[in-house]
Amino acid sequence: MSPQQAALPGQIGRGPDPEIVAERRSRGAGGRSAKPLENVDFWKNGRSGRIRTCDPCVPNAVLYRAEPHSDKKAAYSVGFGAPQAAGMRNFVPVKTGLETLILPAGAAGAEAAARTLAAGGLVAFPTETVYGLGADAANAAAIAHLYAAKGRPAFNPLIAHVADIAAARRIGRFDARALKLAEAFWPGPLTLVVPKTEGCPVADLATAGLDTVAIRIPAHPVAEAILRAFGGAVVAPSANISGHVSPTLAAHVESDLSGRIDLIVDGGPVTVGVESTIVGCFDAPMLLRPGGLSRERIEAVLGAPLARPTVEAESDDSQPLAPGMLASHYAPRAHVRLRAQDVAPGEALLAFGSERLPGVDAAVAVMNLSPTGDLDEAAANLFGYLRSLDAKSPRAIAVMAIPEEGLGEAINDRLRRAAVAR
């Protein structure tokens, strides 16, 4: 390892590009340094119960990185072989304490992001769905750093983001139906899980040892500029502590990951507000995760209904085939109470539509996803409003009923996972 490639304290791998270090130290190029949060009372155990962290929002905390190993079984068979060892058993302490640089979106931000990714660093950037935390998909050390920074289960696969369909076909094998979906909805909030190509460069750690790879082309100019400047695939789960509410603003990323990632590119608020829909392109195309593209639109292109995953596949005790399939996920600190018909003392209310519930006047706080009942608006507001209500430290967050149609399916999926007992 050359002197220029030496890892910074708290990093795994080569560390950021020397030019980025210089930028961070001078705080030039319009950037600013993220300040660490103080007196953060964060939960001590990861949402899955398999990851230990100590005050993960505090820059000098210790968290535990997984060594690749697992005795997890596949959630279900799709004919591509059993998952290889890629889970978590041995925990290695990893110190954090990076000074996180924040740059505005633009050509300089995209170039800085590309240099940081190429040097094995971590970059948060906006997509149309939520902010993603990017690492070089071919760099196993960078991906290990990403898992550690998020406190993410290492048996949970990551989505590889690419700039165009040609790049997607270099890492995944597309049958006629997969290609039809890609051509219809990319760029956009759709992830396709397909078999890996021979010699697929995406690291096994990113695919959790599976013989499939999850691929997406984001529809956001900042994400596209970064991917084209970098020139390769970038794995990018949501830029938050694993299991916490997903980020829809750069400020959300800063509050969760300041001091443990290299760079945040601030592109303002996202437009869709929930993660991508994930479809497994198996013998029968399967909806693995509802998201920003509705089931109805996908089925209209396929001309057939999407299969559903088994109950076992969505258990926290099974190996997920795609991100977002753990039973407990997307969770605020406060308990979430679904389909509320009233507001109890000490509760905050996440409302939907124009109905006023009994007890609303005494609520700790009230935020309405969409007073007019617009599901697109509700999806865009979901994670930001959950974070805002959670910050009020309510006894619980009461959530009004939301229709199970269109994007309502994705909204309810996220809310059910947020409400799982933990």
Contact criterion met (CB below 8 Å) for 23 and 264: no
User: Which of the listed residues 266, 297, 324 is the one where a domain comes to its end?
Assistant: 266
- Cis amide linkage into residue 218, ω under 30° from 0: no
Please report the DSSP string for 125-150 in residue order. EE-SSSEEEEEETT-HHHHHHHHHHH
Quote the strand ranges of 198-276, DSSP E: 212-216, 234-235, 263-266
Residues 233 and 92 in one domain: yes
Residues 57 and 134 in one domain: yes
Residues 40 and 188 in one domain: yes
DSSP structure class, residue 316: T
pLDDT for position 45: 29
Spatial CB neighbours of 268, under 8 Å, sequence gap ≥ 6:
105, 126, 249, 250
Give start and end residues of each alpha helix (H) in 11-139.
18-26, 107-118
Which residues are bridge partners to 68 per DSSP? 88
Residues in the chain: 422
Contact criterion met (CB below 8 Å) for 117 and 231: no
Residues 126 and 47 in one domain: yes
User: Which of the listed residues 227, 247, 266 is the one where a domain comes to its end?
Assistant: 266
Residues 20 and 148 in one domain: yes
Count CB atoms within 10 A of the CB of residue 420.
Answer: 15
Q: Is residue 288 part of a domain?
A: no
Residue 10 CA, chain-centre distance (Å), reads: 22
Six-digit token string for 356: 């006023």
Segment (H or E) for 224: helix 221-230
| Total count of domains within the chain | 2
Residues 347 and 246 in one domain: no
User: Which of the listed residues 266, 292, 309 is the one where a domain comes to its end?
Assistant: 266
Q: Is residue 229 part of a domain?
A: yes
pLDDT for position 354: 96
Phi, psi of 305 (to 5 degrees): -70, 150
Spatial CB neighbours of 158, under 8 Å, sequence gap ≥ 6:
137, 143, 146, 206, 207, 214, 235, 236, 237, 323
Residue 112 CA, chain-centre distance (Å), reads: 22
Q: Is the dihedral angle over the CA atoms 360, 366, 370, 371 positive or is it negative? A: positive
Residues 370 and 257 in one domain: no
d(CA 264, CA 32): 10
Residues 245 and 369 in one domain: no
pLDDT for position 328: 57
Contact criterion met (CB below 8 Å) for 409 and 401: no
Q: Is residue 307 part of a domain?
A: no
d(CA 136, CA 342): 47
pLDDT for position 331: 74
Domain coverage including residue 355:
335-418
Residues 122 and 40 in one domain: yes
Q: Is residue 111 part of a domain?
A: yes
Residues 140 and 257 in one domain: yes
Contact criterion met (CB below 8 Å) for 51 and 94: no
Q: Is residue 86 part of a domain?
A: yes
d(CA 394, CA 387): 12
Pairing of strands 212-216, 234-235: unpaired
Count CB atoms within 10 A of the CB of residue 1.
Answer: 9
For residue 377, the domain's CATH number is 3.40.50.11030
- Give the burial class of 294: count Cβ atoms within 10 A of its Cβ; 0-12 exposed, 13-18 middle, 19 or more buried: buried
**Which residue's structure tokens are 């550690």?**
148
pLDDT for position 156: 75
Segment (H or E) for 398: strand 396-399
pLDDT for position 148: 87
Contact criterion met (CB below 8 Å) for 61 and 97: no
Segment (H or E) for 385: helix 375-390
Q: Is residue 293 part of a domain?
A: no
Residue 105 CA, chain-centre distance (Å), reads: 20
Q: Could you report the average pLDDT of every consecutive run of 10 residues in the chain (422 residues)?
A: 36 44 42 43 29 28 29 32 37 58 98 98 98 97 90 79 98 98 98 96 88 96 98 96 91 96 97 95 93 96 92 52 59 92 97 97 96 91 90 97 90 87 63
Q: Is residue 315 part of a domain?
A: no
For residue 98, the domain's CATH number is 3.90.870.10
pLDDT for position 96: 55
Q: Is residue 321 part of a domain?
A: no
